[in-house]
Amino acid sequence: MIGPRRLLPSMPSLVALEAVDRLGTASAAAAELSLTQGAVSRALQALEGQLGVQLLIRDRQRLRLTPAAQDYVRQIRAGLAAISQASLRLRTNPGGGSLSLAILPAFGVQWLAPKLPEFARANPGVTVNLSTRLRPFDFAVEAFDAAIHFGRADWPGADHLLLMDEVVLPVCAPGLLPQPLRGPEDLLSLPLLQIEGRPNAWGRYLAVQGVPGQRPPGMVFDQFATMTQGALHGLGVALLPVFLIEEALANGSLIPAWPARGRGLGSYYLVWPRDMPPRAPLVAFCDWIKGQVSAEPDHPL
C-alpha cells in the first residue's frame, strides 16, 4: 500500500538529492542531470519544504547531507534502482514476464546457458535477463528476482533450492603427464594451478587423499574459465569442478592427473527473496530448473 501523497516527493527532487549526495555539489549534479544549478537548488528546496526537514548542510562550495538525510537517501537510492530495473524490464519485454537472474560466470556459462533455450521454448512469454555477480548481495538493493549462489544454504532472508553439490577432479593436458602418477603425493611434483578465492582447495583435496599438511604454491587465476584454459595449454594441473570439464574429458583434451574425485568447498543453489511474493516467471523458472536438476547425472566421488 502506498502512503499519503504528501509524503511522495517528486522524482526530480529525489534524483537531485541522490546526485548531490553522490557528487558533493549542486553544479556537479546539474551537469550529470543536464539541468541548471538553479534548477537543482530549487528541487532540493522544494523537497525540504515538502518533508519539513533539513536535508542539506551548506559548507562553502559543497553540500553535505545531514545524518538523517544520509539514511533517507540510501533508501531512496534503492527505490530509484528498483524503478529503473522495472522500467528496463518493461521496455525489453512489453508483453510482461521478464526474469532478472544474477549468475556466477562459470556455472552460468557451462551449466545454465546451454539449458536456457529449452526454458525459452517452454515459456515463450518470459524474457530472462542475466547479470554476473561473484558475491552475495542485498535483494532489497539490487532488483534481481533470483540468483545462483555457491557455498552453503546461508543467504540471509532467502529461500534456497539445491542445484548440485560440487565435485572436483585434478586435470591437466595429456602432454603434461606422459606417465600415470604412482600416488597422489606425486601431484606435488607438478605445477599446480589455483583459484584466487579458494587458497586451501589443493590442501583440502590432498588431505582427503592421505597427503595432509600441504599448501602448495602455484599460478593463481581469478576465474575457472581462465584456469581451465591454462590447464588445456599445459600450464599445470587444475582442480576443477567436474561439470565444467565433462566435454574436455570426453574428447581427451584434459585427462585426470589423479583419478580420485573430491568434494568441493560448497554447493550451488538457486536463491530468491523470501519476503517478496514470487512472480509468475520465477515460479515457472523454479519448476523448470527442478526438472533439470532431477535429470542431471550424479557425479559420484
User: Would you give per-residue pLDDT tens digits along the chain (301 residues)?
Assistant: 566 777 788 888 899 889 988 988 888 888 998 999 889 889 888 888 888 889 888 777 677 889 988 999 998 888 888 788 777 766 765 555 789 999 999 999 899 999 999 999 999 889 899 999 988 888 888 889 999 999 999 999 999 999 999 999 999 999 999 899 999 999 999 999 999 988 899 999 999 999 998 888 889 999 999 999 999 999 999 999 999 999 999 999 999 999 999 999 899 999 999 988 878 899 999 999 999 988 877 666 6
Strand-pair partners of 269: 149, 162
**Strands 262-273, 158-172: parallel, antiparallel or unpaired by DSSP?**
antiparallel
pLDDT of 130: 93
DSSP for residue 209: T
**Whose grid coordinates read 537510492?**
77
**Rg of the chain over all Cα atoms, to the nearest angstrom:** 26
Q: Which of 279, 273, 235 is nearest to 257 (CA)?
A: 235
Give the Cβ contact number of residue 59 at 10 Å: 9
pLDDT of 247: 93
Do 168 and 265 touch, CB atoms closer than 8 A? no
Q: How many CA atoms lie within 13 A of 69 on its CB side?
A: 22
Q: Where are the domains of the chain?
A: 5-91, 96-301
Q: Domain spanning 5-91: which CATH class is it, in words?
A: mainly alpha
Cβ burial 208-219 (10 Å sphere, 16+ → b, else e): ebebeebeeebe
Do 98 and 89 touch, CB atoms closer than 8 A? yes
pLDDT of 94: 58
What residue spans of the chain are helical by DSSP H? Answer: 11-23, 26-33, 37-51, 67-92, 105-107, 116-122, 201-208, 224-232, 242-251, 280-295
CATH topology of domain 96-301: D-Maltodextrin-Binding Protein; domain 2 (3.40.190)
Cell (9 digits) for 191: 605445477
The per-type count for the chain, helices as H runs and strands as E runs, is 10, 11
- Angle 219-111-269 from CA coordinates, rounded to 5°: 90
Strand-pair partners of 237: 192
Torsion angle (degrees, nearest 10) of CA 236, 237, 243, 246: 80
Cell (9 digits) for 113: 546457458
In 18-55, the DSSP E strands lie at none
Q: Which of 153, 95, 172 is nearest to 126 (CA)?
A: 95
What is the phi/psi pair of residue 251, to 5°?
A: -95, 0
CA dist 179 and 182 (Å) reads 9
Task: Flag whether the pTM goes above 0.85.
Answer: no
CA dist 119 and 100 (Å) reads 14
Strand-pair partners of 103: 132
